[in-house]
Amino acid sequence: MFVKFDKETKKIMGGPQGVRPDDTWLTYLPATRTDLRQSCTHEYIKELNAVVQIFGEEYTPNYYENRVNAYLKLSEQLDKLWHDIDQGTLDRTGSFYRAAKAVKDAYPKD
Protein backbone atom coordinates (compact mmCIF):
# COMPACT_ATOMS: atom_id res chain seq x y z
CA MET A 1 0.00 0.00 0.00
CA PHE A 2 1.13 3.55 -0.72
CA VAL A 3 0.32 7.04 0.58
CA LYS A 4 1.04 10.63 -0.34
CA PHE A 5 2.54 12.00 2.90
CA ASP A 6 3.46 15.51 4.04
CA LYS A 7 6.56 15.05 6.20
CA GLU A 8 6.28 18.50 7.80
CA THR A 9 2.68 18.19 9.02
CA LYS A 10 2.85 14.38 9.36
CA LYS A 11 -0.46 14.11 7.52
CA ILE A 12 -1.54 11.65 4.88
CA MET A 13 -2.58 13.70 1.86
CA GLY A 14 -3.70 10.82 -0.35
CA GLY A 15 -4.33 7.10 -0.18
CA PRO A 16 -3.74 4.54 1.04
CA GLN A 17 -4.03 2.72 -2.23
CA GLY A 18 -2.57 -0.37 -3.83
CA VAL A 19 -0.75 1.33 -6.71
CA ARG A 20 2.04 3.92 -6.48
CA PRO A 21 1.07 6.75 -8.88
CA ASP A 22 4.58 8.26 -8.85
CA ASP A 23 7.82 8.38 -6.83
CA THR A 24 6.43 10.94 -4.36
CA TRP A 25 4.14 8.28 -2.89
CA LEU A 26 5.62 6.28 -0.03
CA THR A 27 5.14 2.72 1.18
CA TYR A 28 2.51 2.63 3.93
CA LEU A 29 2.76 0.23 6.86
CA PRO A 30 -0.54 0.28 8.75
CA ALA A 31 -0.75 -1.04 12.29
CA THR A 32 -2.10 -4.55 12.51
CA ARG A 33 -4.41 -3.71 15.39
CA THR A 34 -7.27 -1.27 14.97
CA ASP A 35 -9.38 0.15 17.77
CA LEU A 36 -11.80 2.96 17.06
CA ARG A 37 -11.22 4.40 20.53
CA GLN A 38 -7.48 4.63 20.10
CA SER A 39 -5.77 7.62 18.57
CA CYS A 40 -3.07 7.13 15.98
CA THR A 41 -0.34 9.13 14.32
CA HIS A 42 1.81 8.58 11.28
CA GLU A 43 5.59 8.81 11.18
CA TYR A 44 7.99 8.82 8.27
CA ILE A 45 10.82 6.33 8.85
CA LYS A 46 13.75 7.42 6.69
CA GLU A 47 15.58 4.09 6.88
CA LEU A 48 12.53 2.30 5.45
CA ASN A 49 11.44 5.18 3.23
CA ALA A 50 7.97 4.38 4.53
CA VAL A 51 5.14 5.85 6.55
CA VAL A 52 4.24 3.86 9.66
CA GLN A 53 0.96 4.07 11.57
CA ILE A 54 1.52 4.32 15.35
CA PHE A 55 -1.19 3.89 17.96
CA GLY A 56 -1.37 6.24 20.92
CA GLU A 57 -3.40 6.31 24.09
CA GLU A 58 -6.89 4.84 24.24
CA TYR A 59 -9.51 7.56 24.00
CA THR A 60 -12.16 7.58 26.70
CA PRO A 61 -15.28 9.61 25.89
CA ASN A 62 -16.67 11.86 28.64
CA TYR A 63 -20.20 11.62 29.99
CA TYR A 64 -21.51 14.19 27.50
CA GLU A 65 -20.21 12.26 24.47
CA ASN A 66 -21.60 9.02 25.88
CA ARG A 67 -25.00 10.64 26.42
CA VAL A 68 -25.12 12.16 22.96
CA ASN A 69 -24.45 8.74 21.43
CA ALA A 70 -26.92 6.94 23.71
CA TYR A 71 -29.95 9.20 23.24
CA LEU A 72 -32.53 8.16 20.69
CA LYS A 73 -32.68 10.05 17.41
CA LEU A 74 -34.68 13.27 17.68
CA SER A 75 -37.49 11.87 15.53
CA GLU A 76 -37.84 8.90 17.90
CA GLN A 77 -37.83 11.20 20.94
CA LEU A 78 -40.55 13.36 19.40
CA ASP A 79 -42.60 10.26 18.60
CA LYS A 80 -42.37 9.11 22.24
CA LEU A 81 -43.33 12.59 23.38
CA TRP A 82 -46.35 12.68 21.05
CA HIS A 83 -47.56 9.27 22.26
CA ASP A 84 -47.15 10.31 25.89
CA ILE A 85 -49.22 13.46 25.29
CA ASP A 86 -51.82 11.45 23.36
CA GLN A 87 -52.07 8.85 26.14
CA GLY A 88 -52.03 11.38 28.97
CA THR A 89 -48.74 10.06 30.37
CA LEU A 90 -46.63 13.20 30.07
CA ASP A 91 -45.06 12.58 33.46
CA ARG A 92 -42.51 10.20 34.99
CA THR A 93 -44.50 7.18 33.80
CA GLY A 94 -44.25 8.13 30.12
CA SER A 95 -41.95 6.47 27.63
CA PHE A 96 -40.19 9.76 26.76
CA TYR A 97 -39.23 10.40 30.37
CA ARG A 98 -38.17 6.80 31.01
CA ALA A 99 -35.96 6.71 27.90
CA ALA A 100 -34.24 9.99 28.81
CA LYS A 101 -33.88 8.94 32.45
CA ALA A 102 -32.26 5.62 31.45
CA VAL A 103 -29.56 7.49 29.50
CA LYS A 104 -28.97 9.99 32.32
CA ASP A 105 -28.71 7.16 34.85
CA ALA A 106 -26.34 5.17 32.65
CA TYR A 107 -24.07 8.20 32.07
CA PRO A 108 -24.25 10.53 35.10
CA LYS A 109 -22.42 13.84 35.19
CA ASP A 110 -18.97 13.53 36.73
Residue 88 pLDDT more than 70?
Answer: yes
Each residue of 24-62: pLDDT tens digit? Answer: 999 999 887 655 666 788 999 999 999 998 887 777 778
Residue type for 83, please? H
Which is nearest to 50 in space by CA: 2, 91, 16? 2
Q: What is the mean pLDDT of residues 69-83?
A: 96
Mean pLDDT for the chain?
89
Q: Are residues 39 and 76 in the same domain?
A: no
23 with 69, same domain?
no
Domain tally, the chain: 2
Which domain range does residue 72 map to? Answer: 63-106
Same domain, 53 and 76: no
Residue 25: Cβ within 10 Å count: 20
**Do residues 96 and 77 touch, judged by C-beta distance below 8 A?**
yes
Q: According to the model, what pLDDT value does residue 35 have?
A: 58
- Whether residue 44 sits in one domain with residue 72: no
User: Under 8 Å CB-to-CB from 18, ≥6 apart: which residues?
Assistant: 1, 2
